[in-house]
Structure 1
Amino acid sequence: MPRIAVAGAGIGGLAAALALAEVGCAVDVYERAGTLDAVGAGVQLSPNASLVLRRLGVLDELGPAAVESSEVLMRRARDGAVLARVPLGPAAAARYGAPFLSALRADLQAALLARVALRPAIALHLGRAVEGYEGSGRGVALRFADGAAAADGLVGADGIRSAVRRQMTGAGDASASTRSAFRASVPRAAADPDALVPRSNLWLGRGAHLVHYPVDGGRRVNVVAIVDEGAPTGGAETWSQPAEAAAVERRFAGWAPPARRLIAAAPDWRRWPLLDRPPLPRWSDGAVTLLGDAAHPMLPFLAQGAAQSIEDAAVLADAVARCGGDLPAAFRAYEGLRRPRTSRVQAQSAKQGRVYHLGPPASLARDIVLSTLGPARLAARVDWLYDAPAEVRRFAGTRTSAPAPTPT
């Protein structure tokens, strides 16, 4: 099997390295940073991602640091009224073949790195950024600031500012949307008991919504507040900047007391501008392809950024194995399978953001629909997302479809 270079050691890049090693490839991972510091606070791992992580041994490494969510609880912002519940927990694990988990990004990254360290076929090169490439009949020549390297193929998992994508497609970085995400981590001792229940909480308000869930084995609550700013909010260079706590609290001043108390309990906040870009017309160029945010950055309203990168890793490895090491053919097959799926998730994520942030009277109609659907029908509405595609399940070694929902 071939030697494949992976540009980027984020969640997608490390998952790709593990998946490719699993099918017999030698892998060199090149990372720009000299040390790997996790960016962001928490991450939700829906079943379509966790079944791949289980196949790679990553769930074993995560262990009790990950929290299994019992449900998604949707609430109205102004009074805290419960609008809907989407059952997760054992029901989701049985339905989709894997659990719905939440974790700190640092814990997930540490678990991925622990598995990488156990694979002699994977070499991790820190402080080396892939700046470009040249293809040939015999593989790919990689360019670095301080030299070059050779590989049979290259996977650009180098994020939203991908140098590999820029060379391949000419497409620049994703553009700023008109929304920002404010992120914080609240210690267990400072949170209300309700916020510590192992579930994903979603509060819907006019021009904003709030998500929170326990992480770190229940020792912290990850909080994400997303607001409409009315104008573009800055590019990737302004990610993870400190934010004024008082400004966040003012933005949510009219919300129900439990939401306000959780926001006030955060010791500090950081701001991420939300970036967006339409689907690319292509991802692959011979023995070079893209993965994760380099290929399909998406708004966070379905919590699928990490999950879709992990799906990419599984399908990429499966395609390489099924094409017998013919990387151009494998990468074409991978792109053909993944582009329709990720384009749909991108579009639905953007649509979901508009629905979440509705104001009256449209929000009243939304709330009525959510309140009348019932848990079984709500669960069925996410089958397309959480029930992983057949090619993902083929790599993970699980069944190929979710059971029919039980009527209510």
Structure 2
Amino acid sequence: MSAPIVIAGAGIGGLTAALAVAQAGRRVHLIERAAKIEEVGAGFQIAPNAGRALARLGLEEALAAVALEPQGINVRRGRDGAVLARLDVSDVRAQWGAPFRVFHRADLQQVLLQAALGHPQIEIRTGTRLGEFEDRDGVIRLRAHGPEGVEEIVAAGLVGADGQRSAVRAHLLPTERDAPVYSGRTAWRALIPTELAPPELRARESHLWLLPGAHVVHYPLRDGSIINVVVIVSEPPRHTEGAAILALDGPELARHLRRQQPAEMLAALIEAGASFRHWPLFARPPLKRWSRGGVTLLGDAAHPMMPFLAQGAAQAIEDAEALGLAFRQLGASVERTFAAYEAKRIGRAAKIVRASWRQGEYFHLSGLAASARDLTIRALGGRGMLARNAWLYR
């Protein structure tokens, strides 16, 4: 029996990669440090580029059962609630082959997990931490620290899908200069029962509010029963220290935003939140290479990005599909497969990392620059805004 491909990390990227590699005919051992595979966090968006990839893995029916498809995206001026542009996304499937969808993270992860558990080529080990490993003569020898002790695994290749603070990346790049760096922005996240939201914000649509030094994104989940709210603010580094407040209730967060003067309707939505969790946003230096021999990186381990284009999970899914395709074409040599995968993905991922960072700067403008931005958005309109981002979705 051939040696497996070991994938470290059972998040969205790791599970999708396991499915893609297994469908390409390779055995996969997926190892996850947590004792139980369950997603933390709240909602997130899957744009058409990632939706197509998931559908090609045979997941369309399962995705439709747990997703919500917003009918529009409203870009609003944050201080008075004026709609600068409305993006009609009700018919983008015809244009880009998949809809815009929003998910509770746990729901999408369970779809992927159930598909992986049902695949005969995939073995999943939870409560298992990746230890030391070495790549010698085309064979990966690694130690897996599990509930029953340390196990030696001989693998054909290792994929680090273990997140922004990747242990695999740390092994490949053991330098302090590669450490995560606070971006200067923090996300505050909460799920709010829809009946507590202002009536004007209960429709099956997404909203983006632009404020000086901040922005807010919210959209409905789980058949419209809850609303995922994310408030992103520019904050000094002290907010990332261990003594920082880890949660605020809605009224406290609304007071925290008073300087930005949010519209009454937006403030009311935030005040309805029972608890907003504090998520500092970190960046890492871009990599010139993701792979070395029989070891490669995927998703946030390779290219962590700011969430301002809603492409973090989408790019991990694109990585996974590209990895599976490379195995179909070049599967006899893992080193060549990883090199081809990297060559296919590294340029596009780096471009989206840069664009996501710029988008955050654009969202947080103030004064005359913000007024000029708002005029530009009005001039573009919904169709123009979609066209401007078509390079992401097609």
Say yes or no: TM over 0.5.
Answer: yes
- Give the structure 1 partner of residue 162 of structure 2: 158
For residues 324 and 240 of structure 1, the distance between their equivalents in structure 2, rounded to whole angstroms, comes to: 48
C-alpha change, 1:229 and 1:245, in structure 2 (3 Å) is same
- Secondary structure at the aligned position of 1:131 is classed as strand
The count of aligned residue pairs is: 385
- Give the structure 2 partner of residue 110 of structure 1: 110
Deviates more, 1:75-84 or 1:323-332: 323-332
Runs of 5+ consecutive residues of structure 2 not aligned to the other structure:
none
- Secondary structure at the aligned position of 1:25 is classed as coil
CA contact (8 A) 1:74 1:203 kept: yes
Deviation at 1:137, TM superposition (A): 1.9
For residues 359 and 242 of structure 1, the distance between their equivalents in structure 2, rounded to whole angstroms, comes to: 27
- Give the structure 2 partner of residue 128 of structure 1: 128
CA contact (8 A) 2:161 2:301 kept: yes
Q: 2:252 aligns with which of 233, 247, 265?
A: 247
- Give the structure 1 partner of residue 220 of structure 2: 214
* Identity of matched residues, %: 43
Q: Deviations over 1:56-105 (max 9, x none)?
A: 23332233321112222100011001111222121x11111011100100
CA contact (8 A) 1:16 1:310 kept: yes
Matched, 1:383 2:387: no
CA contact (8 A) 2:77 2:83 kept: yes
Matches within 5 A, 1:197-212: 197-212=203-218
CA contact (8 A) 1:2 1:325 kept: no
Q: Deviations over 1:203-230 (max 9, x none)?
A: 0000000000011121110000000113
- Give the structure 2 partner of residue 183 of structure 1: 189
**RMSD of the alignment, in Å?**
1.8
- Give the structure 2 partner of residue 282 of structure 1: 289
Deviation at 1:302, TM superposition (A): 0.6
CA contact (8 A) 2:5 2:155 kept: yes
For residues 173 and 306 of structure 1, the distance between their equivalents in structure 2, rounded to whole angstroms, comes to: 21
For residues 129 and 45 of structure 1, the distance between their equivalents in structure 2, rounded to whole angstroms, comes to: 29
| Matching residue's letter, 1:80 | G
Deviation at 1:358, TM superposition (A): 0.4
Q: Deviations over 1:222-260 (max 9, x none)?
A: 00000011336427x899933344431113332112211
| Matching residue's letter, 2:291 | S
- Give the structure 1 partner of residue 263 of structure 2: 256
- Give the structure 1 partner of residue 94 of structure 2: 94
Deviation at 1:33, TM superposition (A): 0.6
CA contact (8 A) 1:195 1:221 kept: no
Matches within 5 A, 1:352-363: 352-363=359-370
Matched, 1:13 2:14: yes
- Secondary structure at the aligned position of 1:164 is classed as helix
- Give the structure 1 partner of residue 62 of structure 2: 61
Deviation at 1:269, TM superposition (A): 1.1
CA contact (8 A) 1:180 1:274 kept: yes
For residues 222 and 284 of structure 2, the distance between their equivalents in structure 1, rounded to whole angstroms, comes to: 32
- Give the structure 2 partner of residue 147 of structure 1: 151
Q: 1:223 aligns with which of 221, 229, 232?
A: 229
Query: TM-score normalised to the size of structure 2?
Result: 0.94
Runs of 5+ consecutive residues of structure 1 not aligned to the other structure:
388-408
CA contact (8 A) 1:69 1:101 kept: yes
For residues 290 and 244 of structure 2, the distance between their equivalents in structure 1, rounded to whole angstroms, comes to: 25
Matches within 5 A, 1:388-407: none
